[in-house]
Amino acid sequence: MALEPTRSAALPRILIVDDEVAIQRFLHAILDKGEFSLHRAETGHAALAAAAAVRPDLILLDLGLPDLDGVEVIRRIREWSPVPIIVLSVREREDDKVNALDAGADDYLTKPFGIGELLARMRAALRRAIRTLPEPVFRVDELEVDLPRRRVLVRGEEVQLTPTEYELLKFMVTHAGKVLTHRQMLRQIWGPAYVEQPHLLRVNVSNLRRKIEPDASRPRYILTELGVGYRLKEG
């Protein structure tokens, strides 16, 4: 196991799992600015040991590891830890992204990626990890979802949703900023028997967008992750 801690243990602990030296150096160069305590693992087994020993606040994980596939690493970590996991991978196929997210990854970035986007997604994942329960009232721009009262308002005007549309929006609110796969959403809203019926999800998301988006053809709140699922914009 290769570990390389830097900075204070009081800072958010980031575990970088990648066997490419060039990527490790690149990530250290952009992240080692005093905001994080950085740790490193170069194999899947080393990542599992480091996750248990370091108890990181966030894991940046490559899928192409020399011993264990990254998806298997995600599954094993998810057996005991809810730590946010952001996949950084050269794999661009939709099924690779879906498999990683279904296994429990919180986000997925394809290499090469922008530094600004990586940092933004890391901050969002760390914020979500701090929140143990969603805020009673979710707000983003002109959209407001009052969970205790089951009310949805756009520009201060109440919007009438069907029970299914509301449960779908509520599920996205409680995971705002996180990529949710089609299968995750179908399983949550309709049940395991419906995970192979994506048309149900498409129809309800389309109806929901018509009711809450300023322009349903250019969604501002419910963002599409092409071929993978959806992400609700964070407030």
How many domains is the chain built from? 2
Same domain, 146 and 191: yes
Using CB atoms within 10 A of its CB, is residue 129 exposed (0-12), middle (13-18) or buried (19+)?
Answer: middle
Show the tokens assigned to 35.
Answer: 């905001």
Mean pLDDT of 142-160: 93
- pLDDT tens readout for residues 173-230: 988 888 999 999 999 999 888 989 999 999 999 999 999 999 999 999 999 998 899 9
Same domain, 80 and 62: yes
Residue 2 lies in a domain: no
Residue 161 lies in a domain: yes
Phi, psi (5° rounding) for residue 220? -100, -30
State the pLDDT at residue 117: 93
State the pLDDT at residue 56: 94
Same domain, 18 and 116: yes
State the pLDDT at residue 131: 64
Given a contact cutoff of 8 angstroms between Cβ atoms, the answer to whether 186 and 201 are in contact is yes
Residue 51 lies in a domain: yes
Same domain, 151 and 225: yes
Using CB atoms within 10 A of its CB, is residue 140 exposed (0-12), middle (13-18) or buried (19+)?
Answer: middle
CB atoms within 10 A of CB 102: 20
The CATH number of whichever domain residue 28 belongs to comes to 3.40.50.2300
Q: Can you give the C-alpha Rg of the chain in angstroms?
A: 19
Same domain, 117 and 144: no
State the pLDDT at residue 228: 92
Same domain, 21 and 116: yes
- pLDDT tens readout for residues 32-79: 988 899 999 999 999 999 999 999 999 999 999 999 999 999 999 988
Show the tokens assigned to 106.
Answer: 């919180």
State the pLDDT at residue 134: 58
State the pLDDT at residue 5: 44
State the pLDDT at residue 132: 53
189 vs 9: which has the higher pLDDT:
189
Given a contact cutoff of 8 angstroms between Cβ atoms, the answer to whether 129 and 58 are in contact is yes
Same domain, 123 and 144: no
Report DSSP letters for 128-151, one per residue. Answer: HHH-SS--SEEEETTEEEETTTTE
Measured CA to CA in angstroms, residue 195 lies from 107, 115, 188, 191 at distances of 20, 35, 9, 7
pLDDT band, residue 135 (cuts 50/70/90) = low
Which domain covers residue 207, as residue numbers?
137-232
Same domain, 96 and 144: no
Domain boundary among 83, 101, 130: 130
Angle ∠(186,173,191) on CA atoms, nearest 5: 20
Same domain, 165 and 123: no
Residue 234's SS3 state is coil
The CATH number of whichever domain residue 151 belongs to comes to 1.10.10.10
How many Cα atoms within 13 Å fall on the side-chain side of residue 105? 29
State the pLDDT at residue 130: 75
Domain boundary among 130, 164, 196: 130
Which of 218, 231, 221 shows the shortest CA–CA distance to 152?
Answer: 221
Task: With a cut of 50, say whether residue 9 has pLDDT above it.
Answer: no
Task: With a cut of 70, say whether residue 4 has pLDDT above it.
Answer: no
Same domain, 220 and 182: yes
Helix 70-78 × helix 94-103 angle, to 10°: 20
Same domain, 123 and 29: yes
Domain boundary among 88, 109, 130: 130
- pLDDT tens readout for residues 90-102: 988 888 999 999 9
Same domain, 158 and 199: yes
